[in-house]
Amino acid sequence: EPEVTQTPSHQVTQMGQEVILRCVPISNHLYFYWYRQILGQKVEFLVSFYNNEISEKSEIFDDQFSVERPDGSNFTLKIRSTKLEDSAMYFCASSPIGGTGELFFGEGSRLTVL
């Protein structure tokens, strides 16, 4: 069964460093998303991406965050200068155009900022 894959599964970084989290969405999906879950808190929407541009973003998704689809398969989330409070599980998700609307989530990338 097709699935969303994410790398790395866990990354430890120093505060102030740049981090890139990578995702390979399901191949025929056209909508892509990033969500995050801080330990013990709710899953929160960060950004949605369609047709090579951001279609919606939350207030969390400030200037330190950016997303990119550098080629036909990868979808990346870059955090420019990490802060301690960026420590979280980051989930990538995708959904097909014209589908019933459910999002398919990847296994997540755990980011730990020291």
Partner 1 sequence: EDKVVQSPLSLVVHEGDTVTLNCSYEVTNFRSLLWYKQEKKAPTFLFMLTSSGIEKKSGRLSSILDKKELFSILNITATQTGDSAIYLCAVKPTDSWGKLQFGAGTQVVVTP
Q: Answer yes or no whether residue 25 interacts with partner 1 by CB under 8 A.
A: no
- Among 83, 89, 69, 88, residue whose Cα is nearest residue 24: 69
Rounded Cα distance between 8 and 23, Å, is 9
Residue 34: enclosing H or E segment and its boundaries?
Answer: strand 31-37
Subset of 72-111 contacting partner 1 (CB under 8 A): 89, 91, 93, 95, 100-108
- Among 12, 1, 5, 2, residue whose Cα is nearest residue 110: 12
For residue 62, the minimal CB distance to partner 1 (Å) is 17
Binding mask 27-56 vs partner 1 (x if CB under 8 A, - otherwise)? ----x-x-x-----xxxxx--x-x----xx
Q: Contact positions toward partner 1, by CB under 8 A?
A: 4, 31, 33, 35, 41-45, 48, 50, 55-56, 58, 89, 91, 93, 95, 100-108
